[in-house]
């Protein structure tokens, strides 16, 4: 199988290159992201492999189909960046449904601890031998109420971590899981009663802007919000308005609505034209990181392994256990 591997970074090659050789795949690594301008580079390949900031729309599906590309290999769990319905009966879509939920959950907790205790600001101060504590006061998490939206594998891991801090955990998911050490409640109740809210749900038509003006109005003043899932879960304009009104104690964002072309790239010498992203960076109690919650050795190894297992199954007519179908899209 010949695979066009888009959005290649050095850390991708570390895992995919040796594993690809073991499977006997011919992988062509492409630094460019997959988009309308670069999709033609897949000509002559059996499959393309893309990540979260690539996209494949309906027009690109038709182009890939005409070029006899048989599969889109997602090296991610989410598939909101691919027009799944347009691909039906044309191109097979395969994903990595789970790699290391602990990696994302642990990073979510790290973001919460950072924006609460302002360790990022303390680090910058002490580098200049400024040992003042003014402006660095946080709150105890012990016995506070945490709200977890989405109780898939990552959400479940986050619940275990929050329980370790002896927090009372509320959760919301349209598909409840039995046996969790958490209390399922309505979204409204979660918003009203949570001191901390952490997002762990997929992005679809039901969850887009689940954090909006109305939701923020329900939240406690001083609530902490962490998003390590997908940027589109938060209405950025509403978030900024809430920040200006002093609604949040702190916000941790590992993802952003318009992160394509910015996250995963070195833009340190560029002028950032995204006014909302630039504005978020100005708030002292907002921490923005570059979609790195998944980024551990264990997770990267698992992503490579499952992605290539998906390709092997397709090539050898084995059951496609990780196929994405239109019935999965709301």
Choose the catalytic residue: 259, 260, 267, 327.
259
Choose the catalytic residue: 75, 95, 200, 291.
291
Give the count of alpha carbons within 13 A of 317, CB side only: 0
Q: Please give the full DSSP string across 132-158, using - where no structure is assigned.
A: --TT------TT-EEEEE--SHHHHHH
- 17 flagged as catalytic: no
Instruction: List, edge to edge, every strand of the sheet that includes 248-253.
Output: 183-184, 168-172, 145-149, 196-199, 223-227, 248-253, 286-288
- 230 flagged as catalytic: yes
List the one residue out of 132, 120, 72 whose CA is nearest residue 96: 72
Beta strand pairing call for 92-94 and 145-149: unpaired
Choose the catalytic residue: 75, 230, 247, 257.
230
C-alpha distances (whole Å) from 264 to each of 13, 267, 330 are 15, 9, 28
- The residues, any chain, with a CB within 8 Å of residue 146's CB and separated by 6 or more, are 162, 167, 168, 169, 170, 194, 195, 196, 197, 198
Residues with catalytic roles: 230, 259, 291
């Amino acid at each position: 199988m010949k695979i066009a591997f888009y959005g290649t970074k050095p850390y991708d090659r570390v895992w995919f290159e040796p594993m690809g050789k073991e499977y006997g795949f011919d992988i062509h690594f492409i630094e460019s992201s997959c988009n309308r301008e670069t999709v033609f580079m897949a000509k002559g390949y059996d499959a393309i492999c893309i990540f979260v900031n690539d996209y494949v729309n309906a027009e690109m599906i038709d182009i890939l189909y005409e070029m006899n590309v048989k599969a889109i290999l997602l090296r991610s769990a989410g598939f909101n960046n691919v027009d799944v319905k347009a691909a039906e009966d044309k191109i097979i879509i395969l994903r990595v449904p789970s790699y290391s939920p602990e990696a994302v959950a642990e990073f979510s907790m790290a973001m919460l601890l950072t924006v609460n205790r302002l360790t990022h600001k303390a680090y910058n101060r002490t580098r200049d031998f400024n040992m003042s504590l003014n402006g660095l006061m946080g709150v105890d998490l012990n016995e506070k109420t945490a709200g977890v939206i989405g109780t898939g594998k990552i959400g479940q891991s986050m619940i275990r971590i929050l329980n370790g801090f002896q927090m009372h955990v509320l959760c919301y998911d349209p598909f409840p899981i039995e046996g969790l050490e958490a209390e399922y409640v309505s979204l409204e109740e979660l918003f009203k009663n949570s001191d901390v809210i952490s997002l762990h749900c997929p992005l679809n038509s039901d969850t887009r802007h689940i954090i909006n003006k109305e939701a923020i109005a329900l939240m406690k003043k001083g609530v902490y919000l962490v998003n390590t899932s997908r940027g589109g879960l938060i209405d950025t304009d509403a978030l900024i308005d809430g920040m200006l009104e002093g609604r949040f104690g702190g916000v941790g964002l590992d993802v952003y609505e318009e992160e394509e072309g910015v996250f995963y790239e070195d833009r340190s010498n560029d002028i950032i034209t995204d006014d909302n992203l630039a504005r978020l960076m100005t708030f002292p109690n907002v921490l923005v990181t570059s979609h790195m919650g998944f980024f551990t050795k264990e997770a990267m190894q698992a992503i490579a392994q499952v992605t290539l297992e998906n390709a092997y199954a397709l090539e050898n007519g084995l059951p496609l256990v990780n196929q994405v179908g239109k019935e999965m899209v709301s």
